[in-house]
Structure 1
Amino acid sequence: MKFATVSAGGQMIYGAIVDAGVIALSAEFPQWPSLREVIAAGGLPELEQAAQGRDVTHPEGAFTYEIPVPAPEKILCVGVNFPDRNAEYKDGSSQPKYMSLFPRFARSFTGHGQPLVRPPENHTLDYEGEVAIVIGKGGRRIKAEDAYDHIAALTLCNEGTIRDWVRHAKFNVTQGKNWDNSGSIGPWLVPFTDAAQLDDARIITRVNGEVRQNDVLSRMMFPIREEIAYISTFTTLVPGDIIITGTPTGAGARFDPPKYLVPGDIVEIEVAGIGTLRNTIEDEA
């Protein structure tokens, strides 16, 4: 079953997603104001049980998707995590010893079906399709072999980037990665139950129907188990934290000339077993 955070009638609610729409559940669980608290309590199975046999409360078209976990404490992104991405830099470097990391703020993401916003200051808005994991059981110095025990759910991310602004400083990319509503997370959470959901996953990114990215997570230089182990070495992971695991080659900046996103474009991130994250592009009002 899939679970999402949506806005309907001026309120933010959560519930189960079925073909016809949303089965709202948040009113029945006042002890869990958002999916973040549901995850912290290990409550996804209880939500699934509550949704069984229920009718849709909000049909398609009567709600808008929000990012699935509101206000996570941390969103950490792994950069340059596929061998072809490393080769794109043309610096002759082999696989690095340690992974590259940077933070993103929740405000920089919007939900499924909502527009990614291109700011007036710079038009080099680019896409990066990625799988995102949501931490369910917190911990510090988690062993790689135990890492999957700490994942509650999976979702998708378009880790939208203003490319020119990642070059504004010598040692970081934070400025280019945190423009309001420049990326998206969603559409929903899929509970994590089986290692094959990640180990065998293929991620595909399409722009206006054209495949731009197509790779499998098993080719990552730093597998997700290692990501959780490494990150939890220096910071305590808590329920609701999101790790955005890395994008394959094929982002718009790597074409000659670059293929940056423009208003009217449609970007889709697809992973079998999770779903399709779809967004349009528009200029900031």
Structure 2
Amino acid sequence: MTGRIAAFRAKDKTRFGVVTDEGIVDLTEIAGFPHLQAVVSAGALADVIAVADGRAPDFRIEDVTFLIPVAAPEKIICVGVNFPDRNAEYKDGTSQPKHMSLFPRFPRSFTGHGQPLIRPPENHTLDYEGEVAIVIGKGGRRIAAEDAYDHIAALTLANEGTIRDWVRHAKFNVTQGKNWDNSGAIGPWLVPFTDPAQLDDAHLVTRVNGEVRQEDDMKNMMFPIREEIAYISTFTTLVPGDIIITGTPTGAGARFDPPKYLAPGDVVEVEVEGIGILRNTVADE
């Protein structure tokens, strides 16, 4: 796998660099950008990754702390109930809705690869949702679906961790159940988006303690990513660094009988071949 660029912390400093099988090539001081988000905004991912060619790693992977790749996006917008089997889980007799369900998440609600998802003391219904996340590279408003892929800079993975009881606190929104600090994760790195097949042929798998809980093909989504970008950009201007978390398959813990919520010590992995594996443990706050 090539072209993996990550944000991380090492030697008491926030850095970014290219992840290789041998380690991480630190580009913080030599690439001409203060942080990875600036690289995305400049449309310079490929150029910066090329700077690492031929350079020896500066850090071992096990010696760094991975961070959310884009630390302060203007917007994180999540698409809910976006696979047919997931829609059927609700057992409300409805077919595919006319419009997609959307909700916001705040950057503070996510942690990086390898870090624990935090279960709060107020409620223990912490659930997992494995998803592909896209990072916008070229902004725009009212983007046509056929042009949507031109606006994607990179792909990454998300575990859109949720406090299930809190999404039921109100009639029309789920925001409070979706935004507990460090309840989800994004990472482990960004993979530049260069080929539609990276999304169109993607196969998404979520495992808990090695057991496959979620598995589906991205092509089965009710609202494909092209449509997501077109619809979202109709009402809000997308800007470089914005993140769209595209939808999770059936198999979240809440849908088991009895539910299989996450507990301290659990290990959750979200995987898409060609992007990587986002791995997190679970801990109590």
Per the normalisation by structure 1, the TM-score is: 0.98
Partner of 1:149: 150
CA distance in 1 between partners of 2:215 and 2:276 (Å): 15
Alignment pair present for 1:50 and 2:51? yes
SS of match in other structure, 1:57: coil
**Contact residue 129 and residue 247 of structure 1 kept, 8 A:** yes
Whether the 8 Å CA contact 2:66–2:188 is kept in 1: the answer is yes
Quote the Cα distance in structure 1 between the aligned partners of 2:222 and 2:62.
40
Counterparts of residues 120-139 of structure 1 (less than 5 Å) = 120-139=121-140
Aligned residues: 283
Map residues 136-215 of structure 1 onto 2, 5 A cutoff.
136-215=137-216
| Contact kept? 2:31, 2:51, Cα under 8 Å | no
Listed one character per residue, the Cα deviations across residues 63-102 of structure 1 (whole Å, up to 9, x for unaligned) are 1100011111100000000000111111101100000000
SS at match of 1:226: helix
Could you say what secondary structure the match of 1:142 adopts?
coil
Deviation at 1:29, TM superposition (A): 3.1
The aligned amino acid for 2:17 is G
Q: 1:49 Cα deviation (Å)? A: 1.6
Question: What TM-score, normalized by structure 2, do the two folds share?
Answer: 0.98
Secondary structure at the aligned position of 2:88 is classed as helix
Asked whether the 8 Å contact 1:34–1:70 carries over to 2, the reply is: no
Return the alpha-carbon distance in structure 2 between the equivalents of residues 90 and 261 of structure 1. Answer: 23
Residues in 2 aligned to 1:41 and 1:238: alpha-carbon distance in whole angstroms: 11
Offset at residue 41 of structure 1 (A)? 0.8
Partner of 1:82: 83
How far apart are 1:40 and its partner, in Å? 1.1
Are the aligned partners of 2:116 and 2:282 in contact in 1 as well (CA < 8 Å)?
Answer: yes
Mark the runs of 5 or more structure 2 residues left unpaired by the alignment. Answer: none
| Cα drift, residue 39 of structure 1 | 0.9
User: In 2, are the aligned partners of 1:165 and 1:175 still within 8 Å (CA)?
Assistant: yes
- Unaligned runs of 5+ residues in structure 1 are none
One-letter code aligned to 2:24: V
Q: Is the 8 A contact 1:75 1:243 kept in 2?
A: yes
Q: What is the aligned counterpart of 2:10 among 8, 11, 33?
A: 8
Provide the secondary structure at the position in 2 that maps to 1:211.
Answer: strand
SS in 1 for 2:238: coil
Q: Secondary structure at the match of 1:84?
A: helix
Amino acid of the residue matched to residue 121 of structure 1? E
Instruction: Please give the alpha-carbon distance, in whole angstroms, between the structure 2 residues aligned to 1:26 and 1:240.
Output: 18
Provide the C-alpha distance between the structure 1 equivalents of 2:175 and 2:200, rounded to a whole number of angstroms. 29
Q: Which runs of 4+ in 1 moved over 4 A?
A: none
Over the matched positions of the two proteins, sequence identity in percent amounts to 74
3-state secondary structure, aligned to 1:273: coil
Question: Of 19, 22, 45, which aligns to 1:20?
Answer: 22
3-state secondary structure, aligned to 2:250: coil
Retained in 1: the 8 A contact 2:117–2:182? yes
Bigger shift: residues 43-52 or 230-239:
43-52
In the alignment, what sits opposite 1:69? 70
1:243 alignment counterpart: 244
SS of 1:170's equivalent?
coil
